[in-house]
Amino acid sequence: MNPNEVIDALGGTFRVAELCEVRPPSVSDWRKHGIPRARMMFLRVAKPEIFEALEARNAKHSEGGSEKTSAQPWCELSA
């Protein structure tokens, strides 16, 4: 999962900003630099169904080959 996938699945920049009680420009920065670890932990607790769906979709896509992972500066997004 990359930050864009997570933010889009949660309803977009504005919705994630509301959930995390931050301003939308902060969430836009997360798209570029990664979601801070504490925020990711909060989002996983607040919206577990979204992360279950994302993980199921990513597992389905990675069945045929090796899973690509990209290093995130703030948060590793793997389960």
What is the average pLDDT across 45-69? 81
How is the chain split into domains, by residue range? 3-58
Quickly list H helices, the chain.
3-9, 13-20, 24-33, 37-46, 48-62
CATH number among 2.60.40, 1.10.260, 3.30.70, 1.20.950, domain 3-58:
1.10.260
Q: Inform me whether the pLDDT recorded for 24 exceeds 80.
A: yes
**Amino acid code (one letter) for 31:** R
What is the average pLDDT across 50-57? 93
User: Token pair for residue 71?
Assistant: 């290093």
pLDDT for the residue 63: 73
Indicate if the alpha-carbon torsion angle 42, 21, 35, 47 is positive or negative. Answer: positive
What is the average pLDDT across 26-53? 96
Residue 62: which pLDDT band, with cuts at 50, 70 and 90? Answer: confident
User: What value does the mean pLDDT of the chain take?
Assistant: 86
